[in-house]
Amino acid sequence: MGASFLITLREGLEISLVLAILISYLVKSNRGSEQSAVWLGSGIAALLCVALGLAFHLIAGGLNGHVEQAVEGVLATLAASVLTWMVFWMRKNARTLGGELRAKIDAATTTRALVVIAFIAVLREGLETVLFLLSAETSSSTGGEVVVGGIIGLAVAAVLGYLVYAGGNKLNLKTFFNITGILLVLFAAGLAGKAIHEFRELIEWEAGWLISSPWTIASGPFSSGWVHDFLKALFGWAPTPERLRVITYFSYLIPVLWLYLRKGTTGGNNERATTTEATHSTSNS
């Protein structure tokens, strides 16, 4: 539940910011009557993402053996790669996101064009969310927990998005995006470890120093229960991991987290800029 909550909270808030930029600029441009086109495009994109997610869930749920291991390994690898790209892309491009969206609105002279703009913007974030949630499900105890955590995350994101829209330039989301960015890097490290684990099982590599476990926790909250499930879903924790998985985890985590945290990272205050751009039109209209 923790992983899906974090994913939908982060992705949902990004979608909210995009919608805030589109809606507020339409209002400022005296095109408020065209807001329905934005909601229509967003709604179609959301329904498509849900349908694709359910379809893939049903297909993947019937897999077993080597096929299941291959699919889960590929899914974890893809999710970790996209997640890493997304975190750094947002950090770098947040400052120009609002300007790009407003330029597209200026160029959109028809209702259909506005529908397409909103559809593409929400579809990209929605497909990322589906991919991450599918990966979270394969690493947590039940699909139901993923759904509940995802719904809660979306609900909180919707509230925060409204506050951003209504609050003008008063809200600063820099800290929020920095903290969730770090947590998502940790989540991606867990996915990298999971991918190696699945591929190792796929090729039936079962012996050797790299396959033996550096530690074994047989009892207590780190071996079972809600603490174990939370850490497993969010960080890829395992009470008896193989050394190969641990090495992969830190081989990903250390350089990526260093790049994310180092001073002078491109876009330093871009998260705040995104919020400012999303709400500037509202405060001036």
Average pLDDT over residues 272-278: 47
Mean per-residue pLDDT, 92-107? 81
Task: pLDDT band for 109, please (50, 70, 90 cuts).
Answer: confident
pTM: 0.78
Band of the pLDDT at 142, cuts 50, 70, 90? Answer: low
- Is 274:97 a contact under the CB 8 Å cutoff? yes
Residue 66 confidence (pLDDT) above 70: yes
What does the pLDDT average to over 162-178? 69
Say what the pLDDT of residue 285 is: 45
For 226-247, what is the mean pLDDT? Answer: 85
pLDDT of residue 196: 94
65-69, 72-76, 98-102: range with lowest mean pLDDT: 98-102
**Region of residue 82 (phi > 0: left; psi between -120 and 50: alpha; otherwise: beta):** alpha
The chain-wide mean pLDDT, for the chain, equals 82
**Residue range 71-79: mean pLDDT, rounded:** 90
Q: Decide if pLDDT at 116 tops 50.
A: yes
What pLDDT is attached to residue 48? 94
